[in-house]
Amino acid sequence: MHTFSGAVEHALAHIEEAAVHDMPQEQQRWYAIKIFERDEKILNQLKLDKSVLDHIEDDIKAAENELDDDAESIITNERYVYIASIIKSCYRKKNVVKLSASDKIDRVITNRWLALPIFAIVMFIVYYVSVTTLGTIVTDWANDTLFGAWIQPGVQSLLENIGAAGWVVSLVVDGIIGGLAAPIGFALQMAVVFILLAFLEDCGYMARVAFIMDRIFRRFGVSGKSFIPFLISSGCGVPGIMASRTIENEKDRRMTMMTTTFIPCGAKLPVIALISGFLMGGAWWMAPLMYFSGIAIVIISCIIMKKMRIFAGEAAPFVMELPQYHLPALRGVFLSTWERVCAFLKKAGTILFLCCAVMWFLGSFGIQDGFFGLVDTEYCLLATIGGAISWIFKPLGFGTWQAVASSLSGFVAKEGIVSTMGVLSGLGSVKEYGASMHAQFAAFFPTGIAAVSFLFFNLFDSPCLAAISTLSRELGSRKFFWFALLFQNVLAYCIALMVYQIGGLIVGEVAFSIATVVAFAVLALILYLLFRRDPNKQSLRLVEHSENRMAA
């Protein structure tokens, strides 16, 4: 019979003495190991008394704390250590002391203490290069030079020379070109992000990230398998939701689908770049901050939902084969990037095209002086609609009708936020579009913290219509579908409320008010839901205890 390390053997001896000492000698150790692993089937079969379970749990937790791992992983590792000791005594390898290049890299990349800081540095570099340096250069050239100085003035001159009506010139130049200019300009920035992410995926690093994150996710009751959909969602939420099919546990799968769109996708990158570049003076840290904020919101959401009865249960085990590190094939990297960029451009040519035309119509037509037609911006239909519901968003800091209208278009497609803001910033200032765009964007938000609140709300509310449709189909339940939409939007509103009210109070941009009190109350509620004891574990123990008493 093989033996484990001292801490595990100590716990197993206590379990044998406390729980299985009446069993045949040859069965005691097997049952003790299963109890140590917290095997649900064995625990249900044995129907141990609550006092015995509590005593055993103390021994298991002591072993987990000493070995810094969960019980199931500890037993798995102990078995591999035992297997390795047998192999060492009876099998000889050539070059036994030599490690492969991948093994040497993994000693650093997947190190217990260095793995997460390295991952953070890598993602900071990815977003710093794509949003602040190279990405900013190409996007600024596309927005200010290609569209602002060449295409828009050229098309405007052409239409005016052929005698087009004023409303036609405004529709084409302000509505369509002006609306598509901003998101298409950001397509070059998105391409930089996609190239870097494709490089990391193809070289084998992202597989290591899934392995690294499994250790963290399991502590919060989520399987490492969930990180694969989260990783895919950094490109697009639709395939990210579909990738959750690989999760066997139905509760984990539904929880993953509901939270995977919190990771900023490619469509949200233009919104991040718009806020950080145009409204915050090129804050390079905004993009990586939003990426890690997405991961944090996912973890917080999973902790809260895992304590609900409908999502309670143990996380599914996660096993994957790590590929060898290798230089990515450039053809594969560029094909992956091209597919993602093409998907975005197709959306720009269909959904965003229609969105721009509709937003131009709503932003140009309305009722003024008792007549319907082309009106001043403040009398347009969009101003009327946005102004009617702006009170909902005033506690979040962006109560202007322009910001509200942009958020509404984001429910159709997240790129539509940038398109709508492009349309609204160009209305009435066609000749100076490129020069005035930055100032007009900034005029949509009274303060910098209001722009940040706007960004948080639109990153974490319900996704685009395509992702919502996929979510409905994959969930297969109206109850869970409506719960998902409600959870996403309420959470996004609460986050934006806390960012604006509490963050604004700290930086001195927001005065103390009733909304601030509400924000602190929301923060207290979230902290309570995070740190409260899991009621499902308590109820499960009570049920087992009552069953034991009935059996007695």
Domains of the chain listed by start with CATH number = 6-98 (1.10.287.1770), 115-315+325-531 (no CATH)
According to DSSP, the residues that pair with 159 across neighbouring strands are none
pLDDT at 281: 63
Structure tokens at 109: 């990349």
Question: CA–CA separation, 450 vs 496, rounded Å?
Answer: 9
Nearest of 435, 60, 456 to residue 296 by alpha carbon: 456
Give the distance from CA 392 to its chain's centroid.
25
Q: By the 8 A CB rule, do 56 and 13 touch?
A: no
Q: Closest Cα to residue 341, out of 231, 235, 415, 416?
A: 235
Q: Do 438 and 273 form a contact (C-beta atoms < 8 A)? A: no
State whether the Cα torsion 489-490-491-492 is positive or negative. Answer: positive
The CA–CA distances, whole Å, from 8 to 1, 16, 63, 155, 535 equal: 15, 12, 6, 76, 28
Q: How far apart are CA 412 and CA 416, in angstroms?
A: 7
Distance CA 106, CA 111 (A): 7
Answer whether 152's CB lies under 8 Å from 174's CB: no
Query: What are the tokens at 127?
Result: 């977003």
- Amino acid (one-letter) located at 367: I
Contact 397, 450 (CB under 8 A): yes
Running DSSP on this structure, what letter comes out for residue 323?
A: P
Between the two ends of the chain, the Cα-to-Cα distance in Å is: 35
DSSP 461: S
pLDDT tens, residue order, the chain (552 aa): 778 888 899 999 989 988 888 888 888 899 999 999 988 888 888 888 888 888 888 889 889 888 888 888 889 888 988 888 888 888 877 666 677 788 888 889 888 888 889 988 988 888 778 766 776 677 777 766 777 677 878 888 888 888 887 778 877 876 677 666 666 766 777 788 888 888 988 898 988 888 888 777 777 767 777 777 887 888 778 888 888 877 777 888 888 899 998 988 877 877 887 777 655 666 667 778 888 888 889 888 888 888 888 887 766 667 777 888 888 888 888 898 888 788 777 766 677 777 777 877 887 788 887 788 777 777 788 888 888 888 899 999 888 888 888 888 888 778 778 777 777 765 544 333 333 445 555 667 878 888 889 999 999 998 888 788 889 888 888 899 999 999 999 999 999 999 999 999 998 888 999 999 999 999 999 999 888 887 766 554 544 444 455 444
Answer whether 197's CB lies under 8 Å from 191's CB.
Answer: no
What are 514's two structure tokens?
């009733």
Biggest distance spanned by C-alpha atoms of the chain? 99
Separation CA 389–CA 235 (nearest Å): 32
User: Tokens 């009865």, residue?
Assistant: 309
Q: Are 238 and 223 in contact (CB under 8 A)?
A: no
Read off the tokens for 445.
């938000």
* Beta-carbon contacts of residue 503 (< 8 Å; ≥ 6 apart): 449, 452, 453, 510
Q: Choose among 521, 430, 531, 528: nearest CA to 151.
A: 430
Here the tokens at position 313 are: 């249960």
Which residues are registered as beta bridge partners of 372? 367
CA–centroid distance for 389 within its chain: 27
Work out the burial of residue 526: count CB atoms within 10 Å of its CB; fewer than 13 is exposed, 13-18 middle, 19 or more buried: middle
Distance CA 456, CA 71 (A): 38
d(CA 437, CA 185): 13
Assign 377 to helix, strand or coil. Answer: helix
Q: Which pLDDT score is estimated for 279?
A: 59
Number of neighbouring beta carbons within 10 Å of residue 77? 15
Q: For position 543, what pLDDT does the model report?
A: 46
Q: Given CA atoms 151, 152, 155, 157 in this order, what sign does their dihedral have?
A: negative
What is d(CA 428, CA 170) in angstroms, rounded to the nearest whole number? Answer: 9
How many residues are listed for the chain in this entry?
552
Instruction: For 256-287, give the DSSP string.
Output: HHHHGGGS--TTTHHHHHIIIIIISS--TTHH
The radius of gyration of the chain from alpha carbons, rounded to an integer in Å, stands at 28
Q: Is the dihedral of CA 396, 402, 408, 412 positive or negative?
A: negative
Per-residue pLDDT at 542: 47
